[in-house]
Amino acid sequence: MTLQAEEGTLTGLMMDTPLTLHHFLERAGRLFGGKEIVTRSPGGTHRYRYADYYRRVHRLARVLEKLGVQPGERVGTLAWNHYRHLELYFGVPCYGAVLHTLNLRLSADDLAYIINHAEDRVIFVDRSLVPLLHSIRDRLTCVRQFVVMGGAGPVPELPGALEYEELLASVSGDAYPWPRLDENAAAGMCYTSGTTGNPKGVVYSHRALYLHSVAFTMADTFAVSERDVLMQVVPMFHANGWGKPFTGIMCGAKIVLPGEHPQARDLAQLIQDERVTFFGGVPTVWISLHAVLQEEKFDTSSLRLGATAGSAIPRSLIEIYEKEHGIELRQLWGMTETAPLGTVSILKSGMSGCSEQERFTTCAKQGMAVAGLDLRVVDEQGREVPWDGVSMGEVQVRGPWVISAYYNDPRSAGAFQDGWFRTGDVATLDSEGYMQLVDRTKDVIKSGGEWISSVDLENAIMGHPQVLEAAVIAVDHPKWQERPLAAVVPKPGHTLTKDEITAYLEPRFAKWWLPDDVVFLDAIPKTSVGKFDKKVLRARFKGHELK
């Protein structure tokens, strides 16, 4: 064959195969019919196989058709991590509608805003979560139908609601004729947790979710494969559960779903019983799991790797998991807007001979940009900062799974610049290209014209052997503008003083970085996705008199 260039341009002669989620589902059904999907539930463990899952997803598409769902319409889910929710993960986007996962930990006002702003037409809701919708039912102007999952019988709080299993049983035929979709068509939708103003809508295309799923299988990210037993701990309403449900089905991995209200002990039991090899969670999950493993004996030897994100994890915790449990904790950094994979902290091969101190120092950073993603750190004038590990600036990213705008939101204008997404995170880059998160622009402490990283102070404090959690915020100061205040939660059975915390920090930081005061709490308030909620702390300690 001779290749001819038209008007001086040579193009690849490739098949026109759109990158859509259909491929993952059909591959899973053909190749991995015998693999298990396991859900922890109050009534006992639910188990079925990919073959069952595949048939039910096809029937779910017929249910959506029966309900009159049109292509491109939003279908909401208000649900825990379980097999029915996983069915919706593929049934909705493969049908041609948009999966909108609703955060069950949001306030009633935020939940009502999100549903109406996205214009959800149908909402699938767990029976245990029906009260959340009942409280705002009269404010939902767009919803045509509610479908209840789990249990049986009528739901008085939602008149006219249908039941999920009855709907599946009411349709005939198995194989649904999937529509051919444009890979750039919307497949999923999430909203940010709304730390300032109303939550912002993030829409993901089929292409974005496809490529993001493939990125999770890279050896230099998390190497997820068919051989894994993947436990989906991250809530499936949070940034697509970090995208792992899509990756798990794509690979044909055994999937373990923790169900309603999972506690750290439940996770330890599942790791032992199901021989889990990989899962991800925010640092507070790993802190709680470690506390359980200290008190009780569980076999976690199957766990080859753990992922953590949401906030910087203390270096001390990375060391504890490796030395005490033989588990590698690998950080990823990202946001809802990046689907969320952005950077991963993994050592380069040339670092294999470095000292233990150097190794853990590098692993405690947020890592290198994942292949496919461009990342830069810029100063206030928009210039890239030197890769010296010291110069700070705002992190900006672009790539095939990074959004280009918020959904129907004027705040897009301030969030994007010259084709880059402005993350609002402050970081440094070292000479090897490893990013270290310093702070959020709204959380960094500005003292006497200099910046103090609340993240660095928090991580150091949580390295104290008697500290469970710590968060650092800025409080007003008449001379220095702002000064750091540390909120500390001691481990159970321990008491601490301000002087002990200060003495622990003194060898690690310049004197002017040290917190002016330390307050001790029973718990640090958390956001809906498990991060430390600093806006609550700032409100609580506004006007705090520094000692």
Q: What is the DSSP letter of 515?
A: -
* Burial bucket for residue 376 (CB in 10 Å: 0-12, 13-18, 19+): middle
Among 337, 394, 458, 469, the one annotated catalytic:
337
Integer Cα distance of 132 and 122 in angstroms = 16
Integer Cα distance of 175 and 181 in angstroms = 17
Q: Is the dihedral of CA 77, 80, 83, 89 positive or negative?
A: positive
- Say if residues 229 and 274 touch (Cβ distance below 8 Å): yes
- Residue 451 appears among annotated catalytic residues: yes
Distances (CA, A) of 546 to 74, 476, 482, 518, 541: 50, 9, 11, 9, 10
User: Is residue 84 classed as helix, strand or coil in its secondary structure?
Assistant: helix
Task: Give the angle subtended at the CA of 247 by the CAs of 242 and 250, to the nearest 5°.
Answer: 160
- Residue 17 appears among annotated catalytic residues: no
103 Rama class: left (phi>0) / alpha (psi -120 to 50) / beta: beta
Among 192, 221, 277, 336, the one annotated catalytic:
192
Centre a 10 Å sphere on the Cβ of residue 482 and count the other Cβ atoms it contains: 16
- Say if residues 33 and 221 touch (Cβ distance below 8 Å): no
Distances (CA, A) of 334 to 13, 97, 368, 370: 35, 26, 12, 10
Residues forming a β-bridge with 81: 259
Radius of gyration of the chain (CA): 24
From 242, 223, 235, 301, select the one nearest 268 (Cα to Cα): 301
Distances (CA, A) of 3 to 7, 14, 15, 17, 190: 13, 13, 16, 21, 44
Residue with tokens 């718990």: 523
Integer Cα distance of 327 and 307 in angstroms = 10
- Do strands 328-333 and 186-191 pair parallel, antiparallel, or not at all (unpaired)? unpaired
Containing 362, the helix (H) or strand (E) segment is helix 356-363
Task: Give the angle subtended at the CA of 363 by the CAs of 213 and 249, to the nearest 5°.
Answer: 15
- Residue 192 appears among annotated catalytic residues: yes
Tokens standing for residue 529: 């996705």
Integer Cα distance of 222 and 243 in angstroms = 12
Among 66, 451, 506, 542, the one annotated catalytic:
451
**Identity of the amino acid at 196:** T
Tokens standing for residue 541: 């300690």
Among 446, 497, 512, 542, the one annotated catalytic:
446
Catalytic residues: 192, 337, 446, 451
